[in-house]
Amino acid sequence: MAAILDGLEFQAEFRTLSYKHSEFLEKSLEAIKPILLKPPLENLYELRLNSCKTVPAVLENLCKFISG
């Protein structure tokens, strides 16, 4: 899944990213960080993680990254 996220970095603009029944681990988190750093008009407005395999530390790191 991280490989797909790497490609999304080069997309012009999108508002929603939904993860369903997948893994969201450290590689996914690192791959999504450049997307979250884009300017507001080109940025992701909604991130959904539905029924994903993950660990608390990854979600904690995601929340810390988002909140700055």
Q: Encode pLDDT of 16-57 as tens digits.
A: 888 888 899 999 899 888 888 877 656 678 889 999 999 999
At CA 41, angle to CA 40 and CA 42, rounded to 5? 90
Whole domain around residue 24: which residue ranges? 2-67
Number of compact structural domains in the chain: 1
CA–CA distance, 41 with 30 (Å, rounded to integer): 22
Strands (E), 1-68: 16-20, 46-50
The pTM of this model reads 0.73
At CA 12, angle to CA 9 and CA 16, rounded to 5? 75
